Amino acid sequence: YSTISWAASIDKGVQKNVEYGYKSHSTAGTVFDFFNALGTVAFAYAGHNVVLEIQATIPSSPEKPSKVPMWRGVVVAYIVVALCYFPVAFIGYWIFGNDVNGDILISLEKPVWLIAMANMFVVIHVIGSYQIYVMPVFDMIETLLVKKMKFEPTTPLRFIVRNVYVALTMFIAITFPFFDGLLGFFGGFAFAPTTYFLPCIMWLIIYKPRKFGLSWWTNWICIVLGLCLMILSPIGGLRTIIIQAKTYKFYS
């Protein structure tokens, strides 16, 4: 679906009166949009705690540590993500300028059948990826119900809990479809800590690298930048949501 997005954009051609300047006409608006964009990029390239569970299932020994195949997998994954995302970002901006929608498929408008195909690929992607992303959440909820609230760990309990959770998240997504703002908000608030600075803090505590050495400086730079990202991005995302909410009509 990424390929459909940029290939269809090229076929559509550069739009008339396209503008490449800042979308906002005020300095404050430009700064907040920048904060939101940082969160969006952080969301797109963030890791996930399920990676730790995947690594825990790989056989590991001093001769063949699990970190070797995991490192290769992470490198390949980021290369694939970059190959999918960068053409969409560059070509989408080239064709539509600052009027490009957060979901480029909306900017394309036509042909309808091709956009429908791209959305179907999105559905296929989500059906698979959602199962992986949500597994730690399911595990946490079911552990709480069984250990704290003394429910029996049965198949009906798992079936009910998981379906209720999926229905709830779907309801929230349909009710508040502020795509741009939510990406920026959660990219900074939720993904920046777990991806960009908490791992660095853990590394410094566990390995205690030499102070003012390359590893020490690298980790501290990532910590400072990650903290700034966590603080600033949600502000930009929240502002975007508030602006969009002013003209939004529920279930329109």
Per-residue pLDDT, 205: 92
More confident: 145 or 51: 145
Q: Which amino acid is at 171?
A: F
Where does residue 120 rank: exposed (0-12), middle (13-18), buried (19+ CB within 10 A)?
Answer: exposed
Q: pLDDT value at position 161? A: 92
Average pLDDT, integer, range 130-141: 85
Give the count of beta carbons closer than 10 Å to the beta carbon of residue 121: 13
Q: What confidence tens digit (pLDDT) does each residue in 56-92 have?
A: 888 888 888 988 998 998 899 889 989 988 999 899 9
Say yes or no to pLDDT of 105 above 80: yes
Of 136, 195, 138, which is closest to residue 162 (Cα–Cα)? 138
Distance CA 78, CA 87 (A): 14
* Polymer length of the chain: 252
Residue 217, pLDDT score? 94
Whether residue 179 is predicted with pLDDT greater than 90 in this model: the reply is no
Confidence of residue 175 (pLDDT cuts 50, 70, 90): confident
pLDDT of residue 165: 93
Q: How many other CB atoms are found less than 10 A from the CB of residue 187?
A: 28
Helices 27-44 & 179-186 angle (0-180, nearest 10): 70
Residue 88 and residue 6 in contact, taking contact as beta carbons nearer than 8 Å: yes
Cα–Cα distance measured from residue 6 to residue 9, given in angstroms and rounded to the nearest whole number:
5
201 pLDDT tier (thresholds 50, 70, 90): very high
Mean predicted confidence (pLDDT) in 99-123: 85
